[in-house]
Structure 1
Amino acid sequence: MTPTEKLRSILTEQYISEDGDEYKVELKEGLTNQQIDELAKRLPTGQIPTEIRELLKFARGFEFFGLEEVTFDGVGQFGFEELFPNSVQLAGDGFGNFWILDVDKNGSWGSVFYVCHHPAVIVKHSDNLTQFIEHVNDFGKNTNKSNLDIIHEKVVMDIWRKGNGFIGLENARKSNDTTLKDFALSLPDNFLIADLRHKQIQNGFAWGKFGPNIGKAKRHETELIWGIEKPIKKGFLSKLFGR
């Protein structure tokens, strides 16, 4: 099912807000071909996939209770380029946390991630945009039992407290997975790796576990693999003499 087909399929759904009020998806006006072409210029290949063009012409997003809004044209709005060089900001929760879609260097629109700053965790939220729209629908119907709410309220804390989601650099350098091994060999010794290539949704990593500065973070050119710096702890004399 394409994103447009999925969005059309939920237009007749009725939802109940926390206050007991009924609401429905309210579409935002679609874009013109010229507007879509201008948007494409901000993407790696200067192109937008056919099914995404179809979606943007149908609606550039929609209003939905519990989310600030869902938008499909937020190309380059998110920032965080060290971790997501090209992305589409889809929605925010009103508290500085966002759902973003990763666009690879070939222009493919891929997985959706929930990027949280408190705790500083990234979670794979949906495999693609179609599934994300379904997850929004699921949130409207099932609220605290939905994938969206479980990630928002529980998974981020579990990753922060228990898992971290990292692979040790030495283990990665010895891996039979040549993609992982080559990436690990390209990193300095004080880095850890997060690999979400083959992970199911609700998996992620604590991007800020070692501090908020991600200026040296590395992203694999084509894969969902990241290198995060773990600062070397300085001894007393090093601190004293500024070394």
Structure 2
Amino acid sequence: MTAIEQLKAILDNQYESEDGERYKVELKPGLTESEIQNLKEILPNKSLPIEIEDLLRFTRGFDFFGFEEVTFDGIGFFGFEEFFPDSCQLASDGLGNFWIVDIDKTGNWGNVFYVCHDPPVVVKHSQHLSELISHIDEFGRIGSRSNLDIIHKKTVMEIWSNSEGVIKKEIALTSDKELQDFAESLPYNFQIADLRNAPNGKGFAYGKVKIESVIRHDTELLWAFEKKKGFFSRLFSK
């Protein structure tokens, strides 16, 4: 199901807020052809997927309880280019947490990531924009039992507490060729986050790495970085 098909499928759904108020998806106006063209000018390859163009003609986003707003035209709003050189900010909760879609060098829209500020972690949230819309619908229907709420409240803490998605360079050098080639170009003390085949809910703690050291693979969901030194490491290195 395309993003516009998924969105149209939930337009008649009724939801209930935490205050007991009933609400529905409230669509924003669509973009004009000139506005769409202006977006293309700032995107890689100066192109938008046809599916996204159709969506933007239909609506630029919508209002939904729990979000400041959901938008499909937030190109370049997010920043954080060390990890996501090109992205579209899709939503924010107003508390410093964001949902963004990763855009590759050809302009294709890929996975949706949840970027949490406390704890500072990145989570693969949805496989694509259409799935994020279905996850928002699920959040409206079942609240705390939804994928969105579980990631927001539980998954981020699990990722912060362990290093499951991060491997050392020497381990990467014994893996598949793509990962080997990436690892060979890195300094000896770097680690790698590999989310290429990771399911939703996997991620890494960006708050534990030196942001200025981050290297993103040109085409894959691979990030390399130097880990921040802990307190005692800094103490005994003096």
TM-score (norm 2): 0.95
Q: How far apart, in 2, do the equivalents of 1:95 and 1:164 lie?
A: 26
Whether the 8 Å CA contact 2:208–2:228 is kept in 1: the answer is: no
Q: How far apart, in 2, do the equivalents of 1:48 and 1:173 lie?
A: 36
Alignment correspondent of 2:200: 201
Aligned residues: 235
1:225 pairs with 2:188? no
Q: Note the residue ranges of structure 2 that are not aligned, 5 or more in a row.
A: none
Supply the RMSD in Å over aligned alpha carbons. 1.3
TM-score (norm 1): 0.94
**Offset at 1:235?**
6.5
**Offset at 1:216?**
1.5
1:78 pairs with 2:85? no
**Offset at 1:168?**
1.3
| Match runs of 1:1-243 below 5 Å | 1-175=1-175, 177-210=176-209, 213-231=210-228, 233=233, 236=236, 239=238
Whether the 8 Å CA contact 1:164–1:206 is kept in 2: the answer is: no
Q: How far apart, in 2, do the equivalents of 1:6 and 1:23 lie?
A: 18
Q: How far apart, in 2, do the equivalents of 1:154 and 1:228 lie?
A: 25
Q: How far apart, in 1, do the equivalents of 2:162 and 2:177 lie?
A: 28
Q: How far apart, in 1, do the equivalents of 2:149 and 2:50 lie?
A: 31
Q: Counterpart of 2:178 in structure 1: which amino acid?
A: T
Q: Counterpart of 2:208 in structure 1: which amino acid?
A: K
Whether the 8 Å CA contact 1:112–1:126 is kept in 2: the answer is: yes
Q: Counterpart of 2:223 in structure 1: which amino acid?
A: W
Q: How far apart, in 2, do the equivalents of 1:30 and 1:8 lie?
A: 14
Q: Note the residue ranges of structure 1 that are not aligned, 5 or more in a row.
A: none
Which stretch of the first structure deviates more once superposed, 107-116 or 225-234? 225-234
Q: How far apart, in 1, do the equivalents of 2:55 and 2:217 lie?
A: 29
Q: How far apart, in 1, do the equivalents of 2:96 and 2:10 lie?
A: 27
Which stretch of the first structure deviates more once superposed, 200-209 or 55-64? 200-209
Q: How far apart, in 2, do the equivalents of 1:234 and 1:68 lie?
A: 40
Whether the 8 Å CA contact 1:164–1:209 is kept in 2: the answer is: no
**Offset at 1:231?**
4.2
**Offset at 1:163?**
3.6
Whether the 8 Å CA contact 1:75–1:88 is kept in 2: the answer is: yes
Q: How far apart, in 2, do the equivalents of 1:215 and 1:76 lie?
A: 20
Q: How far apart, in 2, do the equivalents of 1:234 and 1:90 lie?
A: 38
